[in-house]
Amino acid sequence: MTRHFPVAVAIFLFFLFVVPIPTFAQQSSVSSGLALTPPMGWNTWNKFGCNVSDELVRGMADAMVKSGMKDAGYQYVVIDDCWQVSRDGNANIVSDSKRFPNGIKAVADYVHSLGLKFGIYSDAGMKTCAGRPGGLGHEYQDAVMYASWGVDYLKYDWCHTYKTQDAKASYANMRAALDASGRPIVLSICEWGTHQPWLWGEEVGGNLWRTTGDIQDRWGGKEKWPDGGCCSNGVLAILDEQAEIGSYAGPGHWNDPDMLEVGNGGMTTTEYRAHFSLWAILAAPLIAGNDLRSMTPEIRDILTNKEVIAVDQDPLGREGQRVSKDGDLEVWAKQLKDGSRAVLLLNRGSSPQEISATWEAIGYPAHLSAAVRDLWAHKDLGKFTEKFSASVESHGVVVVTVKP
């Protein structure tokens, strides 16, 4: 006994210090390093709703390449709700065989063959929002299936969950399931901001989390639905809900003010330019939701403005803040990695207005001389001290970088 004691101690110490004990943090190393800048891509929902198919997704992936969107940084092609119809005898999720005659993996393979990434949608409850089978109780089984199809991104919704279901625990469970599959998969938390996911989204390994209800293709604020229910969110309604939560975003974990409506027909070109610019200042995921196969040159130019996209994708990963508000006139500013600022002048009013961003408001001393560049005109405007002012059209923005 005494003779074996040192050996026993050595074995004990070996297991204590050398053999790693699995922890949540180690499991999540599979997905660490994902979404270091806000995810960019395209999703079926805003334009096509439940009308998803193999043909649609392949066509959109082709268009993403041909339109120059891939070159501009768009990467994920995501099928939202309605691809799934049932579970089989082994409880495996089954895709709609009429709409996806070759199965989901064939679509994913095609998307990958174009150098893009593939995403899919499910729900933390019994059913998805459109009433299709949800993931509750099948998290690990579904994650293995998704990984076998080559899924790179999962949007996980919150419909048909139990009243007592804990959001944080549910999303932590899905992250653990995805990691256990061994495939790095971006987790997009979609519980509409109901349980303040900005407070716990990063901790559970979420890469982005919706902060609001669904976006509608209109400019304005919150409005009641025709049946009196709350609420339809225009761009401004969503913007106002982002003002206080910017500090929770950073590399790998982003506030998600919902997908883009740019090009869907409900706003003017000026408003779409503003919508896109505001999402960039917010370091929001840029997930287009229009028909990429038939967009006008104006819409393509908005979605592929590389200077504005660079603001969104800046590696420092700071979300922009509203630094001044005077009625309808606002200034938003975002700190960039090279020490410069992206500055957005927003006119919510109904006539053109002059708006000024003071150096003091954006965090610079007034005497500093800084070079200003207009990111929509693609033009250097010269050096300025103290402030920059510009005339901004109704529902429009001017976006500049200010570089000391």
Residues marked as catalytic: 157, 214
User: Cα 159 to the chain's mean position, in Å?
Assistant: 19
* Residue with Cβ nearer ligand GLA (259 or 333): 259
Token pair 């992936």 in the structure block, residue? 61
Does residue 81 touch ligand GLA according to CB under 6 A?
A: yes
Does residue 392 touch ligand GLA according to CB under 6 A?
A: no
- Helices in 200-282 by DSSP H: which ranges? 235-242, 269-281
Question: Contacting ligand GLA (CB under 6 A), which of 57, 77, 80, 318?
Answer: 80
Letters for 21-50 (x = contact with ligand GLA by CB under 6 A, - = none) are ------------------------x-----
Burial 341-371 (b: 16+ CB within 10 A, else e): bbbbbbbbeeeebebebebeebebeeeeebe
CB of 157 to ligand GLA, least distance (A): 5
Residue type, 317: G
* Residue with Cβ nearer ligand GLA (193 or 263): 193
Q: How many residues bind ligand GLA (CB under 6 A)?
A: 11
On whether the CB atoms of residues 285 and 317 are closer than 8 A, the answer is: no
- Provide the 8-state DSSP code for 266: S
Binding window for ligand GLA (CB under 6 A); candidates: 27-35, 87-95, 101-109, 127-135? 127-135
Question: Contacting ligand GLA (CB under 6 A), which of 30, 77, 79, 129?
Answer: 129
288 beta partners: 42
Does residue 256 touch ligand GLA according to CB under 6 A?
A: no
Residue nearest to ligand GLA (CB): 129
Number of Cβ within 10 Å of residue 230's Cβ equals: 10
Cβ partners under 8 Å of residue 248, min gap 6: 198, 199, 201, 202, 255
What whole-number distance in Å separates Cα of residue 392 and Cα of residue 384? Answer: 18
* Residue with Cβ nearer ligand GLA (170 or 340): 170
Binding window for ligand GLA (CB under 6 A); candidates: 58-66, 128-136, 144-152, 169-177? 128-136
CB of 51 to ligand GLA, least distance (A): 12
231 prior amide bond cis, ω within 30: yes
Question: Contacting ligand GLA (CB under 6 A), which of 57, 93, 111, 190?
Answer: 190
User: Cα 310 to the chain's mean position, in Å?
Assistant: 15
Residues binding ligand GLA (CB under 6 A): 45, 80-81, 121, 128-130, 157, 190, 192, 214
